[in-house]
C-alpha cells in the first residue's frame, strides 16, 4: 500500500485494459472519500473469437525453408486501443472540469500505454502513479490503498 496525498476534488483513475473507473475525492487529503464519476468497459472478446484465419507461412529468401508467422493477438491490441480511448476521455474531463490533481492507478503495462497517450497538460496534473491492478477492488479498498 502506498500513502498518497489526494486533495479535495482530485480525480482518481483506476483501470486496466478492459475496465476503468474515474473517481473523485469528495473528502480531503486526510479523509479520502471517493465517489464514482464514470465507469468505462470495453467489449473485448477472447482472441480466438476475433481472429478468423490460421497464422500465415513465410518462405525463406534463401534456400527452401518455411516458417510460420505469429498469430496476431487481437485481444492484446484491443487492450492498448482501450487505454488510448480512455486517456482521451480522461483528458477531456481534466480540461473541462479544470482538475487540479489526478492519481493514476493501473497495472504497469496499462500505465505505460496511458503515459504515451496523455497530453502534456494532463501529465502536469498527475500527482501520483501506482502500478497495481485495483480495477476489480471495491472503492473502499481503493481508498485504503491510497491512505495506508
Question: In CATH, what number is assigned to the domain containing residue 139?
Answer: 3.30.420.60
91 lies in a domain? yes
Q: Residue 76: which of 105, 40, 42, 104 has the closest Cα? A: 42
> How far is the C-alpha of 75 from the C-alpha of 81, rounded, in Å?
10
2 lies in a domain? no
pLDDT in tens, 113-126: 999 999 998 999 99
68 lies in a domain? no
Contacts 24+ apart (CB under 8 A), 30-36: 32/6, 32/143, 32/146, 32/147, 33/143, 34/139, 34/142, 34/143, 36/139
Residues 6+ apart with CB under 8 A from 13: 20, 21, 22, 23, 86, 90, 102, 103, 104, 105, 106, 114
pLDDT in tens, 4-55: 889 999 999 999 878 899 999 999 988 999 999 999 887 655 555 555 555 5
62 lies in a domain? no
Domain holding 98, by residue range, is: 11-45+73-147
Mean pLDDT of all residues in 103-109: 94
Q: Residue 48: which of 31, 30, 73 has the closest Cα? A: 73
59 lies in a domain? no
So what's the pLDDT on residue 18?
Answer: 84
With 60 as the cut, is the pLDDT of residue 101 above it?
A: yes
With 90 as the cut, is the pLDDT of residue 148 above it?
A: no
pLDDT in tens, 127-140: 999 999 999 999 99
127 lies in a domain? yes
What is the number of domains present in the chain? 1
> How far is the C-alpha of 5 from the C-alpha of 26, rounded, in Å?
14
pLDDT in tens, 64-93: 665 655 555 565 677 778 888 888 988 898
1 lies in a domain? no
24 lies in a domain? yes
Amino acid at each position: 500500500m502506498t500513502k498518497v496525498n489526494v486533495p479535495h476534488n482530485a480525480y482518481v483513475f483506476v483501470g486496466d485494459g478492459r475496465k476503468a473507473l474515474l473517481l473523485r475525492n469528495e473528502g480531503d487529503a486526510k479523509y479520502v472519500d471517493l465517489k464514482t464519476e464514470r465507469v468505462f468497459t470495453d467489449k473485448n472478446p477472447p482472441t480466438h473469437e476475433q481472429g478468423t484465419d490460421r497464422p500465415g507461412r513465410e518462405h525463406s529468401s534463401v534456400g527452401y525453408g518455411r516458417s510460420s508467422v505469429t498469430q496476431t493477438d487481437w485481444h492484446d491490441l484491443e487492450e492498448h486501443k482501450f487505454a488510448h480511448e480512455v486517456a482521451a476521455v480522461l483528458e477531456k474531463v481534466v480540461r473541462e472540469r479544470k482538475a487540479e490533481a489526478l492519481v493514476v492507478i493501473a497495472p504497469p503495462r496499462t500505465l505505460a500505454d496511458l503515459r504515451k497517450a496523455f497530453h502534456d497538460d494532463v501529465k502536469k496534473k498527475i500527482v501520483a502513479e501506482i502500478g497495481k491492478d485495483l480495477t476489480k477492488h471495491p472503492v473502499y479498498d481503493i481508498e485504503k490503498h491510497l491512505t495506508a
